[in-house]
Chain A
Amino acid sequence: MAEISWGKTTQPQAAAQPKIASQVKMMVGIGLLIAAVAYLIISGTSSGARYFITVDEIVRDSQYVGQTVRISGAVIGDTIVYDSQNLIIDFTIANIPEETSDLAATLHNVVNDPSSSRLRIHIENQVMPDLLQHEAQAILTGTLGADGVFYATELLLKCPSRYEEAVPGQINGSA
């Protein structure tokens, strides 16, 4: 492979004089471009930023009412009500503590713990996702209404570690 030359090579123009003026122009151009990109990123960040908060925080603190935020919680399977004619889903999620080592176990625990904070979710124009089921982790973007219901516009689901950490049940050994 090494012996091969790569296509036609255009010979560099003989001793092209570096023109300072055009280098300056180039730098100014790139500078302007960088400024434009920086503006884009900053304005995009300020309009697109979503605070990721816990169910605990949103339930406790009224400052979040009306603000667009992202929350994550454990789906409680029995509460899922799906109106397939109008594509409206209602369900309740339970708070997931911030520090968790085994997410699957945590999801299982909080769903079964009546003392964990809960939040009712309402989402419209949403086809029932296959992953929306008991003990899934839901990540939602939306706003908390004054009625205490979270009106979500975006729903992301994870079924963690089902495939990773499962252990076979009772099995008999044989020597």
Chain B
Amino acid sequence: MLAEIGLFATFFAFLTAIYGAAVSLYGERFARSEALVLSGRNAALLTAVLLTVGVGALQIAILTQQYQIAYVWAVSNPQMPTFFRFTALWGSQAGSLLFWSFLMGLFTAICVLLNWRGQRRLMPYAVTFMLLTVAFFIGLLLFFENPFDRWWVIPSNPVEQQVVRAALMPAGALEPDPIALAQTAQGLNPLLRHFGMAIHPPMLYLGFVGFIIPFAFAMAALASGDLSTNWLKITRRWTLVAWLFLTLGLLLGGRWAYDVLGWGGYWGWDPVENAAFLPWLVGTAFLHSAMIQEKRGMLKTWNMFLIIGTFSAVIFGTFATRSGLVDSVHSFARSPIGFPMFAFWFISTIIAVYLILWRRSRGELRDENAFTSVFSRESLFVLNNVVFVALFIAVFWGSFGAPIASELFLNTDITLGQDYFMRVTPPLFAALYILMGVAPISAWGVTALSSMGRTLVIPVGLTLASLLLFFLTGTRDALALFAYGIVLLAGWVALVETVRGLQARQRVHKESPLSSLRALYTRNPRRYGGYLIHFGVTVIGLGVIGSTLFQQETQQTLSAGQSLQIGGYTLRYDALFNGQIAEDGRVMDIAQLSLIRDGQTLATLRPRRDFFPQTEGMNTMTIAAAHSTLENDFYVLLVDWNEINANAATFKVYINPLINLIWWGGIILIIGTLIAAWPREILPARVRQEMQVSGLARKGA
């Protein structure tokens, strides 16, 4: 029953999305019919409702263990805890496609509800582009990867082929025996049973889907001819929200890899990781250069290309990940959706580029200002954009470009490993941090170098002071100090600028520093939220440098009671508890160790190995234990142990300096983004009133 409800709801969503896209475009562009345009709007809302029903049906089917549905059978089993029954919705290809379509449909509906009245001219076109994307993804799941397929038994078939998979009951088929199905159900891949993995995919999807909205508006602007900065202003918050989720998704993915994959690292420059990083790079460039267009009316064509690049990277990333194009630990199994996804990516990119060139050739994307000085803020922003795009190209080339080009033109397979990325990206990241330190204190138009130098005195002083601290605590490597220096400068500039804003306010208003700070964030959320984001990125940078350059590792076999020494720590192996059975049926072998420094026991660490008896294939998982402080992570893996007397066990130990700054920096960055993106409605009533009054004044003028 649930399968039918889900299937039909999704199928109708496919129809309403296509209908909505068609009548919106036709009604607005050709028929000039308000009724048709409104019908398209309603179709967008209905699509979201139908997709909600579809996702709801699949979710309920997983929760109520309807194993006759092939997807439910593949991602869950009777032993699974309820929490993972929720996350199993996106545990595999078909379900995650449905979930993705649902999010996209939901975003479209929210966008229609929020912006319809204000943006009547752009909306029909935007709806067309958004619904076409939705329809494409629904089409993929309906025709290639159907999450509502069920198992059927056809007794007349030869024994080997009696069990078949189909959406609707084939002729002569019987319903399979539910008890037997429940017994063979696969369950979620053990690697995915982690909190980070549970929320990492939806975060990434929200980020990906979120970037489609600014893209749709950019396309709407090009198609409608309303090429003012309107589309940027409407989608600015969408872009920030999408960026926030994408950033969160990347951070959570790193955290998951660090906790679960057991190699002491969080980022491996794997093609699939890079596929999610690519839209982030262009998206971040876009966030910056959009400001120049808003304030100075410049870079109009460039911004169009950036937002299209972001969308393109999202679709390409999805395609690359899901089609089995590249070898990666993450990639989904080879799938028939590869070709249609590639075609969609190619066609949408071509249409977008054509629209830009067409409007440009008519002179409608001309900039309102020209560059006046090399050290103006807009020039530095352009440089920032160039570096972001360079990083994008370098990462794209390394993960996809070189392998694909070598296969096409040289008839060999060439892949670029970690060493490529470790060579190419650090100088570019360094350039970004330097720009991050300098650009915020430059002025629009022309910057006087002398005033810029004066503004830099305090941050540079603070940077040198912090470097001295690093030096005194043992960092002697010149390159590392240089790297810390440029990262720190960016952070100090952000902090000092915030303090300056605070002081300026305090001079004018009689108020407590705390309410001044609040006022700073509510009255100028973009600037000060932005500074907080920069500060967060600095903290992340320190963590990355520390954990990359100064990681220590060792491995040793210890008998119970024996210890190993590393980096001033003593690790003592106390006992092994094997064969512990957990609630979800996994069997755990747990080692217990004491971490000691200066004669004091800091922590008891329990690294373990889990075995999943019900799971076929990959059924063991090595789970690290870590003692986390701001200074470092002491990260221990249980590598092996003597099965018989459990007396000797082998451990691999990593010390990752400053690694927790990455997660803390991530939290700061998220807070900064929330401040920058927070709806204005939370502003004090007085401020709102002022805004209304000035708005009325403008209208009256």
CB within 8 Å for A26 and B416 given contacts A156-B327, A171-B153:
no
Question: Which stretch in B44-52, B470-478, B568-576, B615-623 binds the other chain?
Answer: B615-623
Fill in one digit per residue for B412-429: 1 if any A CB lies within 8 Å of its CB, else 0. 111111111101100110
Report which of B412, B413, B420 forms a contact with A48, defined as CB distance below 8 A.
B420
Q: Does A7 reach chain B (CB closer than 8 Å)?
A: yes
A144 shortest CB reach to chain B, Å: 16
> Across the interface, do B327 and A72 meet the contact criterion of CB distance under 8 Å?
yes
Q: Does B526 reach chain A (CB closer than 8 Å)?
A: yes
Fill in one digit per residue for A38-50: 1 if any B CB lies within 8 Å of its CB, else 0. 0011011101111
CB within 8 Å for A166 and B74 given contacts A6-B526, A7-B527, A33-B383:
yes
Report which of B329, B423, B524, B617 forms a contact with A8, defined as CB distance below 8 A.
B524
> Across the interface, do A45 and B295 meet the contact criterion of CB distance under 8 Å?
no
A-side contacts of B620, CB under 8 Å: 130
B290 shortest CB reach to chain A, Å: 10
> Across the interface, do A45 and B416 meet the contact criterion of CB distance under 8 Å?
yes
> Across the interface, do B369 and A48 meet the contact criterion of CB distance under 8 Å?
no
- Tally chain A residues at the interface, Cβ within 8 Å: 76
B-side contacts of A141, CB under 8 Å: 417
Question: Which stretch in B180-188, B484-492, B577-585 binds the other chain?
Answer: B180-188
> Across the interface, do B173 and A173 meet the contact criterion of CB distance under 8 Å?
yes
Report which of B236, B444, B640, B695 forms a contact with A10, defined as CB distance below 8 A.
B444
A166 shortest CB reach to chain B, Å: 6
> Across the interface, do B236 and A6 meet the contact criterion of CB distance under 8 Å?
yes
> Across the interface, do A172 and B618 meet the contact criterion of CB distance under 8 Å?
no
B-side contacts of A156, CB under 8 Å: 327-329
CB within 8 Å for A173 and B176 given contacts A12-B296, A160-B334, A164-B333:
yes
Chain A residue at smallest Cβ distance from B609 = A130
**In the docked arrangement, what's the CA distance between A128 and B637, Å?**
11
**In the docked arrangement, what's the CA distance between A6 and B234, Å?**
10
Chain A residue at smallest Cβ distance from B177 = A172
B289 shortest CB reach to chain A, Å: 14
A-side contacts of B397, CB under 8 Å: 41, 45
Q: Does A169 reach chain B (CB closer than 8 Å)?
A: yes
> Across the interface, do A162 and B618 meet the contact criterion of CB distance under 8 Å?
yes
Q: Does B114 reach chain A (CB closer than 8 Å)?
A: yes
Beta-carbon contacts under 8 Å, B160-205 to A: 162-163, 165, 173-177, 180-181, 184, 186, 189, 191
Question: Which stretch in B15-23, B275-283, B348-356, B370-378 binds the other chain?
Answer: B370-378
B-side contacts of A84, CB under 8 Å: 557, 639-640, 650
> Across the interface, do A168 and B371 meet the contact criterion of CB distance under 8 Å?
no
**In the docked arrangement, what's the CA distance between A44 and B418, Å?**
10
B69 shortest CB reach to chain A, Å: 12
B-side contacts of A1, CB under 8 Å: 114-115, 118, 234, 237, 679
**In the docked arrangement, what's the CA distance between A20 and B650, Å?**
68
**In the docked arrangement, what's the CA distance between A156 and B394, Å?**
22
Report which of A17, A34, A167, A174 forms a contact with B165, defined as CB distance below 8 A.
A167
B48 shortest CB reach to chain A, Å: 18
Chain B residue at smallest Cβ distance from A157 = B329
> Across the interface, do A128 and B639 meet the contact criterion of CB distance under 8 Å?
yes
A47 shortest CB reach to chain B, Å: 7
**In the docked arrangement, what's the CA distance between A130 and B637, Å?**
12
CB within 8 Å for A48 and B423 given contacts A3-B695, A16-B372, A168-B163:
yes
**In the docked arrangement, what's the CA distance between A50 and B423, Å?**
15
> Across the interface, do A6 and B233 meet the contact criterion of CB distance under 8 Å?
yes
**In the docked arrangement, what's the CA distance between A172 and B162, Å?**
9
Beta-carbon contacts under 8 Å, B317-345 to A: 327-329, 331-335
> Across the interface, do B370 and A18 meet the contact criterion of CB distance under 8 Å?
yes
Return 10 A-B CB contacts under 8 Å, by A number: A7-B526, A33-B387, A36-B427, A37-B428, A52-B413, A103-B333, A130-B622, A156-B329, A159-B618, A170-B159
Beyond known contacts A44-B416, A172-B177: 8 more, CB 8 A cutoff:
A5-B695, A18-B372, A30-B382, A87-B652, A128-B639, A130-B618, A171-B176, A175-B175
A binding-site residues for B, Cβ under 8 Å: 1-10, 12-13, 16-19, 22-23, 25-26, 29-30, 33-34, 36-37, 40-41, 43-45, 47-53, 70, 72, 82, 84-85, 87, 101, 103, 125, 127-128, 130-131, 133, 136, 139, 141, 154, 156-175
Closest 7 CB pairs of A and B: A173-B174, A2-B118, A48-B420, A52-B413, A84-B640, A173-B153, A18-B370
